[in-house]
Structure formats: C-alpha cells, structure tokens
C-alpha cells in the first residue's frame, strides 16, 4: 500500500452467484447453503417438518414399533436406464423398511456433493427423489449437504435413513424361514446390475436393459394383506439372489434348494451375463423381493404379487429344507445338484 493510491469510487466486486455449479461455498452453512436449500431442496421435498427449518424433524407416528434403516448410495454413472442415484436412494431405504414388514413413513437424506457438480444435475436427482418419494408415499423430512473438493468424490453420494412403523403383532426376519416353506421371487434377476454396467459404456455394445429400481412398499403391503403368514421378506440387492438366500439360510439354520429351471432371467440379461462370465444369481436387483412363506400360501402369494406391476413376473424359485443347515443348493436344469455359495468379492468379468 502506498499513500498515492486513489480509492475514490473503489467498490468490492460483487461475487458471482454460482448458480450453475456446486462450489465449496454451497457446503459452508452460510448464505449459499441456505440458497441451495431454499431453491433446490425445499421446493422439491416440501412438507411441514422440513419447512420448519429446525435441526431435527418432528413427526407424527401411528402406534406400533419403529423400524429404522440407513443406506448410502454411490453409483457410476449417476443416471442409467430405468433410474438414477436419487431414485435409488429413496427406493433403497423404502425397500429395506418394507421388507421388515414396516410401513415406511419418513426419510432423511445426506448429500455429499463434489465441487463442480452442475446444479442442473443435482436438480434432476432431487426431482427424481421427489417422484420416488411420492410414489412410495413417504416424506423427506430432514437433510444435510456437504461439499468436498473436486476429485474427492464421484459427483454426488446420497445417504438416506428411514423410519417406518411395524403394525402391532407383525414380525418378519431372516431367522424365520422354516422347513416346508417355499421361496418366491417377484420378477427377473439382474436387471439393475446389468443396466448400470451397460450404462458405463465400457462393454462395446448397447442394450435396452432397464434397471428394476422401484419402491416395493405397495407391493409388499398387498402381499402381506393377502398372506399374513409370510416368514421372511428380503430385497436381493448387491450380491444378488444367491448371496441374500445364503444369508437367510444361515440366519434361520435351514437349507434352501433352488430350481434352476424356474429362475427368471430376461434373455438380454442372460446374454450379457453369458458374454462376461457373470451368473445372474449374483447380479444386483433394486426392485425385487424374495418371499419365504408356508407352501400352502404360495398360490395366494403369487396371485397377490402378480396383481401389481412390480410383481407381475413373480415365480416360485425354491423351497426350504431342514438340511443342509446354512447352505443353498440348486437342482440344475439337467437334474444334478450343486451348492450355490455367497459372492466372494467384487463381481469380475472372466477372461474367456
């Protein structure tokens, strides 16, 4: 600084509004953060608890036990045929509550945003969350936003937590499968995993496979109304049907036998899996539910599932046996029997 500086008429430059992309300031907790909430999150998720603007949401809950669940969502690419990370973040938590037999009511959402994420992209994701929440009949009542430096995240990560209410007298869980039960699956396996893989554009071919990502609470409510004797419900997400059934077999101390010829797989998914050396039994689903219930209720359950669009292709895929405890077997299409193990690590394409 020197004395000769003439400051007459000097003004601070007006900061750029940064309304096209996420910058670190959006996570500062200051005016930019408030702006982001007011312009992006509030209009989409609008409800009294969120609008109150307090540190926590105060909500009404009907009688029954509370069920809580949380799930973090990372997916590349953020948008894929049949869904996107926002849709996934709502459906994932709604479905985790629904398979517990609970009625999902409220969600919270935490966003980790990468610096440079186009605001337009965030808006599309938020709108998709709103649509999924409306479809599922839940409210997003609390949220949080953090911004990390460019390169420290992959666009956006979303963590959702959910609260649901378990009607009095209802108890479902992975430990309740019993010998004599049957295993139903609400539709074809592997659509989500293959849709996301294909959307990365690394396969060198295009597919018309869409993710099955959908909220299942409506389907499950209709199923439970028709068949209150359901023992286990679970959504076979990462690790696929094989890994989920292994978990249930271990929790319940029972054997599960699958019938290979009954396993539903779309031809396009089967073809991609054949080429890459994947087994659809291990590929992720985001809109399917496994149902374990007494054999005498199977027909009624299938009828109830097939009455909804998410369960139109429901089939019986296996049965629960006393032995071998903790293992999943498969009667192959050619009449032999083999073990179906859990997924060991990352699903890797085979060389040839």
CA nearest neighbour of 314 among 280, 291, 281? 291
In the bound state with another protein, the residue whose beta carbon lies nearer, of 147 and 269, is 269
Identify which of residues 322 and 348 has a Cβ nearer to another protein in the complex.
Answer: 348
329 binds another protein (CB under 8 A): yes
Q: How many CA atoms lie within 13 A of 152 on its CB side?
A: 10
* Integer Cα distance of 129 and 308 in angstroms: 22
Q: What is the dihedral of CA 95, 96, 97, 101, to 10 degrees?
A: 90
Q: How far is the CB of 41 from another protein (least distance, A)?
A: 34
Q: Is 208 in the site for another protein (CB under 8 A)?
A: no
The reply on whether position 169 binds another protein by CB under 8 A is: no
**Bridge-partner residues for 144, per DSSP?**
110
Site for another protein contains 345 (CB under 8 A): yes
The structure tokens 């027909």 sit at 299
Stretch that binds another protein, among 101-109, 117-125, 284-292, 337-345 (CB under 8 A): 337-345
Q: Which stretch binds another protein (CB under 8 A): 20-28, 163-171, 247-255, 333-341?
A: 333-341
Q: Is 338 helix (H, G, I), strand (E, B) or coil?
A: strand
| CB-nearer residue toward another protein: 166 or 259 | 259
- Smallest gap from Cβ 193 to another protein, in A, equals 14
CB of 318 to another protein, least distance (A): 16
What is the rounded CA–CA span in Å between residue 342 and residue 251?
Answer: 14
Does 202 interact with another protein (rule: CB under 8 A)?
Answer: yes
| 241 phi/psi in degrees, rounded to 5 | -60, -40
Q: Residue 200 interacts with another protein (CB under 8 A)?
A: no
Residue 332 within binding range of another protein, rule CB under 8 A: yes
Does 351 help bind another protein (rule: CB under 8 A)? yes
**Beta carbon nearer to another protein, 24 or 203:** 203
> Which is nearer to another protein, 170 or 238 (by Cβ)?
238
> Could you say whether residue 31 binds another protein (CB under 8 A)?
no
Shortest distance, position 352 Cβ to another protein, whole Å: 5
The least distance separating another protein from the CB of residue 203, rounded to whole angstroms, comes to 6
Residue range at the interface with another protein (CB under 8 A); choices 26-34, 88-96, 304-312, 342-350:
342-350
Q: Are the C-beta atoms of residues 190 and 82 closer than 8 Å to each other?
A: no
Distance CA 165, CA 155 (A): 33
Closer CB to another protein, 4 or 336, in the complex: 336
Q: Position of tokens 């659809």?
A: 280
Residue 336 as a binder of another protein (CB under 8 A): the answer is yes
H/E segment holding residue 199: helix 191-199
**Do 315 and 262 form a contact (C-beta atoms < 8 A)?**
yes
Q: Tell me which of 148, 166, 276, 315 binds another protein, using CB under 8 A.
A: 276
CB-nearer residue toward another protein: 189 or 329: 329
- Cross-strand partners of 291: 184, 233
110/324 with CB nearer another protein: 324
Q: How far apart are CA 107 and CA 85, in angstroms?
A: 15
Asked whether the beta carbons of 269 and 197 are under 8 A apart, the reply is: no
DSSP calls for 13-61: PPPP---SB--GGGGSSSHHHHHHIIIIIHHHH--HHHHT--SS-----
The region, left, alpha or beta by phi > 0 then psi within -120 to 50, assigned to residue 88 is alpha
Interaction with another protein in 234-273: which residues (CB under 8 A)? 261, 267, 270
Q: Which residues of the chain form contacts with another protein (CB under 8 A)?
A: 202-204, 261, 267, 270, 274, 276-277, 327, 329, 332-339, 341, 344-346, 348-352
């Amino acid at each position: 600084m020197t004395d000769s500086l003439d400051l007459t008429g000097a003004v601070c430059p007006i900061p750029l509004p940064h309304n096209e992309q996420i910058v670190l300031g959006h996570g500062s907790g200051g005016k930019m953060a408030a702006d982001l909430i007011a312009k992006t999150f509030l209009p989409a998720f609008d409800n009294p608890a969120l609008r109150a603007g307090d540190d926590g949401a105060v909500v009404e809950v009907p009688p029954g036990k509370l069920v809580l669940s949380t799930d973090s969502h990372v997916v590349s690419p953020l948008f894929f045929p049949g869904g996107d990370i926002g849709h996934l973040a709502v459906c994932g938590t709604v479905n985790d509550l629904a398979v517990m037999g609970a009625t999902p009511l409220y969600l919270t959402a935490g966003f980790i945003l990468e610096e440079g994420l186009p605001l337009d992209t965030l808006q599309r994701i938020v709108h998709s969350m709103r649509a999924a929440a409306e479809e599922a009949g839940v409210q997003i009542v609390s949220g949080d936003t953090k911004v990390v430096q460019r390169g420290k995240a992959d666009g956006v990560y979303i963590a959702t937590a959910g609260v649901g209410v378990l009607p009095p007298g209802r108890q479902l869980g992975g430990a309740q499968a019993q010998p004599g039960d049957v295993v139903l699956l609400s539709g074809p396996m592997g659509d989500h995993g293959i849709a996301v893989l294909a959307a990365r554009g690394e396969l060198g071919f295009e597919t018309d496979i869409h993710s099955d990502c959908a909220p299942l609470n409506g389907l499950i409510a209709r199923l439970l109304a028709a068949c209150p004797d359901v023992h286990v419900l679970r959504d076979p997400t990462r690790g696929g049907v094989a890994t989920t059934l292994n978990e249930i077999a271990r929790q319940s101390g029972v054997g599960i036998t699958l019938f290979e010829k009954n396993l539903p797989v779309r031809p396009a998914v089967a073809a991609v899996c054949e080429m890459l050396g994947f087994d659809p039994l291990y590929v992720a689903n985001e809109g399917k539910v496994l149902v374990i219930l007494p054999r005498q209720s199977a027909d009624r359950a299938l009828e109830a599932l097939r009455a909804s669009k998410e369960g139109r292709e429901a089939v019986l895929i296996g049965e629960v046996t006393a032995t071998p405890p903790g293992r999943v077997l498969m009667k192959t299409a050619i009449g032999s029997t083999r073990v179906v193990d859990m997924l060991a690590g990352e699903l890797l394409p085979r060389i040839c």
